[in-house]
Amino acid sequence: MELQHLKKVKDGKYLKNYELTYLNKKGKEKTYEIVGRHEIPDEKALGNHVSGVSIVAYHEDKLLLLREFRMAVNRKIYNLCAGMIEEGESIEECIQRELYEETGLQVKKILDILKPSFSAVGISDIKTQIAFVEVEGALEDHTSDNEEIEAAFYTKEEVLELLETEEFSARAQIAAYSFVKKFPKNL
């Protein structure tokens, strides 16, 4: 596959739509649509901007999960605390701000921050990081009027039942499964 050109087709408030034209392995043109959060000025810029963070948070032997209404699927799902990095903000500052805004909790210790990965590689060049943190404090609602989030801590047994009965975002499902299977081992 060889990228021939990139063209912006729509500039929305939060997402930008692009058409990518490729030559496939038989030399025929293939047009592919993607969305991005930031301006993609040229082909070299595809996949180079880190937009946000997903936070896998623990308190003692429990996992923090959010049950939140997601407009794109018109229902509540289980998700991780997550958000967009603001202009001039470090990843550590973003983790602290998003955790507080969505849950009222504070970061006790950052355990690890993974290198950036693609969030929805089939439809977007958006990259985010995944952070693993220990948290402290009391759960409080600091969300905007446009967010409906219920934050709670869950034991391994409770998470196992949720995995069998509820719908999750992909990253939250992987984090929940790993938590139930005793990953990370130091918890």
Give the pLDDT confidence score for residue 78 in this predicted structure: 98
Domain ranges of the chain: 2-45, 50-180
- Please check whether the domain covering 50-180 is classified as CATH 3.90.79.10: yes
* Residue type, position 61, single letter: D
Is the pLDDT confidence value at 184 over 60? Answer: no
Q: Report the candidate in 149, 186, 143, 7 with the shortest Cα–Cα distance to residue 68.
A: 149
Residue 144 and residue 102: Cα distance in Å, rounded?
Answer: 9
pTM above 0.85, yes or no: yes
- Yes or no: say if 126 and 118 are a contact pair by the CB < 8 Å rule: yes
Give the pLDDT confidence score for residue 161 in this predicted structure: 97
Is the pLDDT confidence value at 59 over 60? Answer: yes
Average pLDDT over residues 152-164: 97
Residue 58 and residue 158: Cα distance in Å, rounded?
Answer: 14
Give the pLDDT confidence score for residue 77 in this predicted structure: 98
